[in-house]
Chains A and B, each alone.
Chain A
C-alpha cells in the first residue's frame, strides 16, 4: 500500500530561520511527488511536482528535492506569510489518485 509520512507534525521558526520539512514515502512505482500549501479554511495550493530522484525545484524561498525514499522542502529565510500547513502527496504509476501525508504545520514568528 502506498504511504506518505511527514515530519515534523508541527514546526515553529523565527523569521529568517531556515529549516527543512521531510516527506518519506513508499509507492509501487512513482509517477510524481507533489507539494502543496494549505492555509486555514482553504483548499491546497499547488507548489511543486517532482518526477525522479535527484530532481530539484525552487520557488521564492522554497526548494523541493527528491530521493528514491524521501523528499525535502527547504525553506530559506522564511517570513510570517510562509506560515501554513505543507502537504506532501505521491501518485503511483497507472493511478490517478494522490496519497497524502498528514502535513507539517509551519509557524513563522516575526
Chain B
C-alpha cells in the first residue's frame, strides 16, 4: 500500500468550471479528512467522512463545495463554479479510527485562472 493517494497532483481550472479532487485512503482506513492550505496560511479543516456518511462538515464553505465517500471508490471533494480564491493545496488524510493519528496524502494543488 503506497499510502494515501490523491489525484490529480495538479489541477488547473478556469473560473466557473468544476474541480473534482480524489482521495483513496490507506488500506484498512475508513475515516477520511479533507484540509485546505491557502498560500502562506496554515492547514484548515474542511470535512470528515466515513463510508457513505459525512460526520463533520463544519469547515466546508456553505456554497459550491461538497464531499462524498461512497461505499466503493475514492472520496471526492467537489468544487463547483471555481473562483480565484479557491486556488490552494487540498490535502486528504485517513485514519483507521477516532483514536488514531492521521496519514496525509501529497495533496492536489488547484490553480484557478
Contact = CB atoms under 8 A, between A and B. Distances in A.
Interface of A: 32, 34, 36, 41-46, 49, 87, 89, 95-103
B80 interface: no
Nearest to B41: A102
Q: A44, A45, A100: which has the most chain B beta carbons within 10 Å?
A: A44
Contacts of A96: 31, 33, 48, 55-56, 98
Contacts, number: 52
Interface in B1-56: 4, 31, 33, 35, 41-45, 48, 55-56
Given A46-B104, A96-B55, A96-B56, 20 more contacts: A34-B101, A42-B106, A42-B107, A43-B91, A43-B93, A43-B107, A44-B91, A46-B101, A46-B103, A87-B42, A87-B43, A89-B43, A95-B56, A97-B58, A99-B45, A100-B35, A100-B42, A100-B44, A101-B42, A103-B42
A100 B58 CA distance: 15
A45 B106 CA distance: 9
B42 to A, nearest CB: 5
A48 to B, nearest CB: 9
A43 to B, nearest CB: 4
B42 A49 contact: no
A32 B95 CA distance: 15
A100 B37 CA distance: 10
B107 A97 contact: no
B65 interface: no
Nearest to A96: B48
B58 to A, nearest CB: 8
